[in-house]
Structure 1
Protein backbone atom coordinates (compact mmCIF):
# COMPACT_ATOMS: atom_id res chain seq x y z
CA UNK A 1 0.00 0.00 0.00
CA UNK A 2 1.41 3.37 -0.92
CA UNK A 3 1.50 6.23 1.55
CA UNK A 4 -0.24 9.55 0.99
CA UNK A 5 3.08 11.11 1.87
CA UNK A 6 4.80 9.57 -1.16
CA UNK A 7 3.20 12.13 -3.52
CA UNK A 8 6.11 14.43 -4.40
CA UNK A 9 3.73 17.19 -5.52
CA UNK A 10 2.25 17.76 -2.05
CA UNK A 11 3.99 18.66 1.20
CA UNK A 12 2.74 16.67 4.23
CA UNK A 13 1.19 19.87 5.61
CA UNK A 14 -0.84 20.33 2.44
CA UNK A 15 -1.99 16.71 2.55
CA UNK A 16 -3.17 17.28 6.13
CA UNK A 17 -4.88 20.56 5.19
CA UNK A 18 -6.69 18.93 2.26
CA UNK A 19 -7.92 16.14 4.55
CA UNK A 20 -9.03 18.68 7.16
CA UNK A 21 -11.43 20.31 4.68
CA UNK A 22 -13.10 17.07 3.55
CA UNK A 23 -16.72 16.25 4.36
CA UNK A 24 -15.63 13.71 6.98
CA UNK A 25 -13.69 16.42 8.83
CA UNK A 26 -14.44 20.14 8.65
CA UNK A 27 -15.62 21.04 5.16
CA UNK A 28 -16.67 24.53 6.34
CA UNK A 29 -13.01 25.59 6.49
CA UNK A 30 -11.20 26.94 3.45
CA UNK A 31 -7.94 25.35 2.37
CA UNK A 32 -6.12 28.54 3.43
CA UNK A 33 -7.70 28.29 6.91
CA UNK A 34 -6.81 24.61 7.11
CA UNK A 35 -3.17 25.34 6.24
CA UNK A 36 -3.04 27.77 9.16
CA UNK A 37 -4.66 25.24 11.52
CA UNK A 38 -2.26 22.49 10.42
CA UNK A 39 0.67 24.75 11.32
CA UNK A 40 -0.45 24.39 14.97
CA UNK A 41 -0.76 20.61 14.79
CA UNK A 42 1.95 18.08 15.53
CA UNK A 43 2.47 14.74 13.78
CA UNK A 44 1.75 11.50 15.60
CA UNK A 45 2.32 7.89 14.61
CA UNK A 46 0.31 5.14 16.29
CA UNK A 47 1.15 1.45 15.88
CA UNK A 48 -1.51 -1.02 14.79
CA UNK A 49 -3.31 -2.57 17.77
CA UNK A 50 -2.70 0.40 20.06
CA UNK A 51 -5.60 1.63 22.18
CA UNK A 52 -4.84 5.35 22.19
CA UNK A 53 -8.10 6.70 23.59
CA UNK A 54 -9.97 4.89 26.36
CA UNK A 55 -13.67 5.49 27.04
CA UNK A 56 -14.05 7.35 30.34
CA UNK A 57 -10.40 8.45 30.35
CA UNK A 58 -9.93 11.74 32.20
CA UNK A 59 -6.21 12.33 31.72
CA UNK A 60 -4.51 13.45 28.51
CA UNK A 61 -7.86 14.06 26.87
CA UNK A 62 -7.41 17.66 25.75
CA UNK A 63 -6.62 17.11 22.08
CA UNK A 64 -8.21 16.17 18.78
CA UNK A 65 -6.66 14.05 16.10
CA UNK A 66 -6.97 14.23 12.30
CA UNK A 67 -6.44 10.82 10.70
CA UNK A 68 -4.03 11.20 7.79
CA UNK A 69 -3.50 7.53 7.02
CA UNK A 70 -4.79 4.26 8.48
CA UNK A 71 -7.97 3.02 10.14
CA UNK A 72 -9.33 3.30 13.66
CA UNK A 73 -12.05 1.23 15.35
CA UNK A 74 -14.29 3.31 17.62
CA UNK A 75 -15.98 1.29 20.36
CA UNK A 76 -18.44 1.93 23.17
CA UNK A 77 -18.87 -0.17 26.31
CA UNK A 78 -22.25 -1.89 26.55
CA UNK A 79 -23.92 -0.95 29.85
CA UNK A 80 -24.29 -3.86 32.25
CA UNK A 81 -22.10 -6.12 30.15
CA UNK A 82 -18.39 -6.68 30.11
CA UNK A 83 -18.35 -6.12 26.35
CA UNK A 84 -17.97 -3.33 23.87
CA UNK A 85 -19.40 -2.73 20.43
CA UNK A 86 -17.64 -1.22 17.42
CA UNK A 87 -19.75 1.79 16.48
CA UNK A 88 -17.61 3.21 13.69
CA UNK A 89 -14.47 2.70 11.63
CA UNK A 90 -12.67 5.95 10.88
CA UNK A 91 -10.03 6.51 8.26
CA UNK A 92 -8.19 9.33 6.50
CA UNK A 93 -9.92 12.69 6.83
CA UNK A 94 -11.80 11.84 10.03
CA UNK A 95 -11.49 13.85 13.22
CA UNK A 96 -11.41 12.17 16.60
CA UNK A 97 -11.63 13.89 19.96
CA UNK A 98 -13.21 17.22 19.01
CA UNK A 99 -15.14 17.30 22.28
CA UNK A 100 -11.98 16.66 24.29
CA UNK A 101 -10.08 19.55 22.74
CA UNK A 102 -12.94 21.84 23.74
CA UNK A 103 -13.94 20.66 27.21
CA UNK A 104 -11.44 18.06 28.44
CA UNK A 105 -14.33 15.90 29.74
CA UNK A 106 -13.94 12.11 29.95
CA UNK A 107 -13.61 10.41 26.56
CA UNK A 108 -16.87 9.10 25.14
CA UNK A 109 -15.43 6.11 23.25
CA UNK A 110 -12.42 3.82 22.98
CA UNK A 111 -10.29 4.18 19.84
CA UNK A 112 -7.97 1.43 18.63
CA UNK A 113 -5.63 1.62 15.64
CA UNK A 114 -6.52 -1.28 13.34
CA UNK A 115 -3.59 -0.39 11.07
CA UNK A 116 -0.58 1.84 11.57
CA UNK A 117 -1.89 5.39 11.90
CA UNK A 118 -0.37 8.66 10.79
CA UNK A 119 -2.20 11.60 12.32
CA UNK A 120 -2.01 15.30 13.08
CA UNK A 121 -2.83 16.34 16.65
CA UNK A 122 -4.20 19.67 17.81
CA UNK A 123 -3.90 20.11 21.58
CA UNK A 124 -6.01 22.55 23.58
CA UNK A 125 -2.82 24.55 24.26
CA UNK A 126 -2.17 24.81 20.50
CA UNK A 127 -5.83 25.71 19.92
CA UNK A 128 -5.53 28.55 22.45
CA UNK A 129 -2.37 29.78 20.66
CA UNK A 130 -4.22 29.64 17.33
CA UNK A 131 -7.10 31.67 18.79
CA UNK A 132 -4.64 34.28 20.05
CA UNK A 133 -2.48 34.42 16.90
CA UNK A 134 -5.18 33.93 14.24
CA UNK A 135 -8.50 34.81 15.91
CA UNK A 136 -10.56 34.72 12.70
CA UNK A 137 -9.21 31.33 11.66
CA UNK A 138 -9.63 30.06 15.23
CA UNK A 139 -13.22 31.28 15.31
CA UNK A 140 -13.98 29.58 11.98
CA UNK A 141 -12.37 26.37 13.29
CA UNK A 142 -14.50 26.46 16.46
CA UNK A 143 -17.62 27.15 14.40
CA UNK A 144 -16.81 24.23 12.08
CA UNK A 145 -16.23 21.91 15.07
CA UNK A 146 -19.48 23.12 16.66
CA UNK A 147 -21.43 22.45 13.45
CA UNK A 148 -19.91 18.99 13.23
CA UNK A 149 -20.88 18.22 16.82
CA UNK A 150 -24.41 19.57 16.19
CA UNK A 151 -24.71 17.23 13.19
CA UNK A 152 -23.63 14.28 15.33
CA UNK A 153 -26.09 15.26 18.06
CA UNK A 154 -28.92 15.39 15.52
CA UNK A 155 -27.93 11.97 14.19
CA UNK A 156 -27.81 10.56 17.72
CA UNK A 157 -31.25 12.05 18.45
CA UNK A 158 -32.60 10.47 15.26
CA UNK A 159 -31.19 7.08 16.30
CA UNK A 160 -32.61 7.41 19.82
CA UNK A 161 -36.06 8.11 18.37
CA UNK A 162 -35.77 5.03 16.16
CA UNK A 163 -34.70 2.88 19.12
CA UNK A 164 -37.55 4.29 21.24
CA UNK A 165 -40.05 3.38 18.49
CA UNK A 166 -38.58 -0.12 18.25
CA UNK A 167 -38.72 -0.48 22.04
CA UNK A 168 -42.37 0.60 22.11
CA UNK A 169 -43.26 -1.86 19.34
CA UNK A 170 -41.49 -4.67 21.19
CA UNK A 171 -43.29 -3.79 24.44
CA UNK A 172 -46.65 -3.82 22.64
CA UNK A 173 -45.83 -7.17 21.06
CA UNK A 174 -44.76 -8.57 24.43
CA UNK A 175 -48.00 -7.30 26.00
CA UNK A 176 -50.04 -9.09 23.32
CA UNK A 177 -48.11 -12.32 23.97
CA UNK A 178 -48.61 -11.96 27.73
CA UNK A 179 -52.34 -11.25 27.27
CA UNK A 180 -52.69 -14.31 25.00
CA UNK A 181 -50.80 -16.45 27.50
CA UNK A 182 -53.00 -15.24 30.36
CA UNK A 183 -56.09 -15.96 28.27
CA UNK A 184 -54.90 -19.49 27.44
CA UNK A 185 -54.11 -20.22 31.09
CA UNK A 186 -57.58 -19.01 32.10
CA UNK A 187 -59.19 -21.29 29.49
CA UNK A 188 -57.19 -24.30 30.77
CA UNK A 189 -58.45 -23.71 34.32
CA UNK A 190 -62.10 -23.85 33.21
Structure 2
Protein backbone atom coordinates (compact mmCIF):
# COMPACT_ATOMS: atom_id res chain seq x y z
CA UNK A 1 0.00 0.00 0.00
CA UNK A 2 1.43 3.37 -0.89
CA UNK A 3 0.52 6.80 0.31
CA UNK A 4 -1.03 9.24 -2.11
CA UNK A 5 1.11 11.90 -0.40
CA UNK A 6 4.74 11.70 -1.56
CA UNK A 7 6.85 13.32 1.13
CA UNK A 8 10.09 11.47 0.35
CA UNK A 9 11.75 14.69 -0.84
CA UNK A 10 11.14 16.48 2.49
CA UNK A 11 13.34 16.42 5.61
CA UNK A 12 12.14 13.76 8.10
CA UNK A 13 10.36 16.03 10.60
CA UNK A 14 8.70 18.07 7.86
CA UNK A 15 7.59 14.89 6.10
CA UNK A 16 6.13 13.61 9.38
CA UNK A 17 4.23 16.89 9.88
CA UNK A 18 2.76 16.61 6.37
CA UNK A 19 1.71 13.02 7.06
CA UNK A 20 0.11 14.02 10.38
CA UNK A 21 -2.33 16.34 8.59
CA UNK A 22 -3.48 13.85 5.94
CA UNK A 23 -7.11 12.69 5.89
CA UNK A 24 -6.07 9.31 7.34
CA UNK A 25 -4.51 11.04 10.35
CA UNK A 26 -5.53 14.46 11.67
CA UNK A 27 -6.66 16.59 8.74
CA UNK A 28 -8.16 19.18 11.11
CA UNK A 29 -4.74 20.06 12.49
CA UNK A 30 -2.77 22.86 10.79
CA UNK A 31 0.62 22.09 9.28
CA UNK A 32 2.28 24.51 11.74
CA UNK A 33 0.63 22.72 14.69
CA UNK A 34 1.58 19.34 13.22
CA UNK A 35 5.22 20.44 13.05
CA UNK A 36 5.09 21.31 16.77
CA UNK A 37 3.47 17.95 17.64
CA UNK A 38 6.07 16.01 15.62
CA UNK A 39 8.79 17.63 17.73
CA UNK A 40 7.35 15.70 20.72
CA UNK A 41 7.34 12.37 18.86
CA UNK A 42 10.11 9.78 18.86
CA UNK A 43 10.87 7.87 15.65
CA UNK A 44 11.11 4.09 15.79
CA UNK A 45 11.63 1.35 13.20
CA UNK A 46 10.09 -2.12 13.21
CA UNK A 47 10.89 -5.13 11.03
CA UNK A 48 8.22 -6.76 8.86
CA UNK A 49 6.16 -9.22 10.90
CA UNK A 50 6.49 -7.31 14.18
CA UNK A 51 3.31 -6.85 16.19
CA UNK A 52 3.40 -3.17 17.12
CA UNK A 53 0.04 -3.12 18.94
CA UNK A 54 -1.62 -6.22 20.43
CA UNK A 55 -5.41 -6.42 20.83
CA UNK A 56 -6.36 -6.62 24.51
CA UNK A 57 -2.95 -5.41 25.72
CA UNK A 58 -3.58 -3.53 28.95
CA UNK A 59 -0.03 -2.40 29.78
CA UNK A 60 2.33 -0.10 27.91
CA UNK A 61 -0.49 1.26 25.77
CA UNK A 62 -0.41 4.97 26.57
CA UNK A 63 0.90 6.07 23.19
CA UNK A 64 -0.19 6.59 19.61
CA UNK A 65 1.69 5.98 16.39
CA UNK A 66 1.92 7.93 13.16
CA UNK A 67 2.92 5.59 10.34
CA UNK A 68 5.73 7.30 8.43
CA UNK A 69 6.72 4.51 6.02
CA UNK A 70 5.64 0.97 5.22
CA UNK A 71 2.35 -0.88 5.63
CA UNK A 72 0.53 -2.23 8.68
CA UNK A 73 -2.24 -4.87 8.81
CA UNK A 74 -4.96 -4.09 11.36
CA UNK A 75 -6.90 -7.13 12.56
CA UNK A 76 -9.51 -8.02 15.13
CA UNK A 77 -10.17 -11.28 16.93
CA UNK A 78 -13.37 -13.03 15.90
CA UNK A 79 -15.48 -13.71 18.99
CA UNK A 80 -15.74 -17.41 19.78
CA UNK A 81 -13.77 -18.42 16.70
CA UNK A 82 -10.26 -18.40 18.15
CA UNK A 83 -9.17 -16.66 14.96
CA UNK A 84 -8.71 -13.12 13.70
CA UNK A 85 -9.58 -11.20 10.57
CA UNK A 86 -7.62 -8.43 8.85
CA UNK A 87 -9.97 -5.45 8.70
CA UNK A 88 -7.69 -3.06 6.84
CA UNK A 89 -4.17 -2.42 5.56
CA UNK A 90 -2.88 1.08 6.25
CA UNK A 91 0.01 3.05 4.86
CA UNK A 92 1.98 6.21 5.56
CA UNK A 93 -0.03 9.03 7.08
CA UNK A 94 -2.20 6.70 9.16
CA UNK A 95 -2.67 7.14 12.88
CA UNK A 96 -2.92 4.23 15.32
CA UNK A 97 -3.60 4.03 19.02
CA UNK A 98 -5.05 7.47 19.62
CA UNK A 99 -7.54 6.03 22.12
CA UNK A 100 -4.63 4.59 24.11
CA UNK A 101 -2.86 7.93 24.41
CA UNK A 102 -6.11 9.41 25.74
CA UNK A 103 -7.41 6.73 28.11
CA UNK A 104 -4.80 3.96 28.40
CA UNK A 105 -7.50 1.28 28.02
CA UNK A 106 -6.71 -2.12 26.48
CA UNK A 107 -5.98 -2.03 22.77
CA UNK A 108 -8.90 -2.71 20.43
CA UNK A 109 -6.97 -4.24 17.51
CA UNK A 110 -3.74 -6.01 16.63
CA UNK A 111 -1.46 -4.06 14.28
CA UNK A 112 1.31 -5.98 12.52
CA UNK A 113 4.01 -4.56 10.26
CA UNK A 114 3.50 -5.99 6.76
CA UNK A 115 6.77 -4.42 5.65
CA UNK A 116 9.62 -2.77 7.48
CA UNK A 117 8.02 0.35 8.96
CA UNK A 118 8.96 3.64 10.54
CA UNK A 119 6.61 5.31 13.01
CA UNK A 120 6.52 8.44 15.10
CA UNK A 121 5.46 7.68 18.69
CA UNK A 122 3.64 10.19 20.86
CA UNK A 123 3.42 8.98 24.46
CA UNK A 124 1.00 10.32 27.03
CA UNK A 125 4.00 11.76 28.91
CA UNK A 126 5.05 13.66 25.76
CA UNK A 127 1.44 14.78 25.23
CA UNK A 128 1.30 16.14 28.79
CA UNK A 129 4.60 17.97 28.17
CA UNK A 130 3.15 19.43 24.95
CA UNK A 131 0.04 20.57 26.83
CA UNK A 132 2.23 22.24 29.46
CA UNK A 133 4.73 23.81 27.02
CA UNK A 134 2.35 24.74 24.20
CA UNK A 135 -1.22 24.61 25.52
CA UNK A 136 -2.79 26.01 22.34
CA UNK A 137 -1.15 23.41 20.12
CA UNK A 138 -1.95 20.67 22.64
CA UNK A 139 -5.59 21.72 22.82
CA UNK A 140 -5.90 21.76 19.03
CA UNK A 141 -4.26 18.32 18.86
CA UNK A 142 -6.74 16.94 21.40
CA UNK A 143 -9.64 18.48 19.49
CA UNK A 144 -8.40 16.91 16.25
CA UNK A 145 -8.01 13.50 17.94
CA UNK A 146 -11.46 13.85 19.50
CA UNK A 147 -13.01 14.73 16.14
CA UNK A 148 -11.33 11.71 14.55
CA UNK A 149 -12.71 9.42 17.27
CA UNK A 150 -16.13 11.06 16.95
CA UNK A 151 -16.12 10.47 13.19
CA UNK A 152 -15.22 6.81 13.77
CA UNK A 153 -17.98 6.43 16.34
CA UNK A 154 -20.53 7.90 13.94
CA UNK A 155 -19.35 5.51 11.19
CA UNK A 156 -19.51 2.55 13.57
CA UNK A 157 -23.03 3.56 14.62
CA UNK A 158 -24.05 3.73 10.96
CA UNK A 159 -22.62 0.26 10.36
CA UNK A 160 -24.37 -1.14 13.44
CA UNK A 161 -27.70 0.25 12.23
CA UNK A 162 -27.15 -1.38 8.85
CA UNK A 163 -26.23 -4.66 10.56
CA UNK A 164 -29.34 -4.46 12.76
CA UNK A 165 -31.53 -3.89 9.69
CA UNK A 166 -29.94 -6.86 7.91
CA UNK A 167 -30.37 -8.97 11.03
CA UNK A 168 -34.07 -8.02 11.25
CA UNK A 169 -34.65 -8.99 7.58
CA UNK A 170 -32.83 -12.30 8.10
CA UNK A 171 -34.91 -13.00 11.22
CA UNK A 172 -38.11 -12.32 9.26
CA UNK A 173 -36.97 -14.71 6.53
CA UNK A 174 -36.10 -17.35 9.11
CA UNK A 175 -39.53 -16.93 10.72
CA UNK A 176 -41.22 -17.48 7.33
CA UNK A 177 -39.15 -20.64 6.73
CA UNK A 178 -39.88 -21.99 10.22
CA UNK A 179 -43.62 -21.22 9.94
CA UNK A 180 -43.74 -22.99 6.56
CA UNK A 181 -41.93 -25.98 8.03
CA UNK A 182 -44.35 -26.16 10.97
CA UNK A 183 -47.35 -25.96 8.59
CA UNK A 184 -45.87 -28.66 6.38
CA UNK A 185 -45.29 -30.94 9.39
CA UNK A 186 -48.84 -30.38 10.63
CA UNK A 187 -50.25 -31.11 7.19
CA UNK A 188 -48.12 -34.24 6.98
CA UNK A 189 -49.34 -35.41 10.40
CA UNK A 190 -53.00 -34.94 9.34
CA UNK A 191 -52.49 -36.74 6.04
CA UNK A 192 -50.89 -39.85 7.60
CA UNK A 193 -53.42 -42.62 8.31
CA UNK A 194 -53.74 -43.56 11.95
CA UNK A 195 -52.84 -47.12 12.73
Structure 2 unmatched ranges of 5 or more: 191-195
Q: Conserved in 1, the CA contact under 8 Å of 2:7 and 2:18? A: no
Aligned residues: 186
**CA distance in structure 1 between the aligned counterparts of 2:34 and 2:52, rounded to whole angstroms:** 25
- 1:85 positional shift: 1.1
TM-score (norm 2): 0.93
| Runs of 4+ more than 3 Å apart | none
Aligned to 2:193: none
Evaluate the alpha carbon distance shift between residue 5 and residue 168 of structure 1 in structure 2; reply closer, same or farther with a 3 A threshold.
closer
Q: Which residue of 2 is the match for residue 35 of structure 1? A: 35
For structure 1, the 5+ residue unaligned runs are none
Instruction: Tell me which residue corresponds to 1:177.
Output: 177
Distance 2:131 2:16 in 1: 20
Q: Which residue of 1 aligns with 2:189?
A: 189
Larger radius of gyration: 2
- Structure 1 Cα separation of the partners of residues 116 and 30 of structure 2: 28
- Are 1:51 and 2:51 matched, yes or no? yes
In structure 2, the residue matched to 1:157 is: 157
Query: Aligned equivalents of 1:37 and 1:123: distance in 2?
Result: 11
Cα distance in structure 1, aligned partners of 2:40 and 2:139: 15
Task: Give 1:40-189 correspondences, 5 Å limit.
Answer: 40-189=40-189
Q: Does the alignment pair 1:26 with 2:26?
A: yes
What's the offset of the Cα at 1:6? 5.1
Write the distance in 1 (CA, Å) between the matches of 2:160 and 2:46: 33
The two structures, once aligned, show a CA RMSD in angstroms of: 1.3
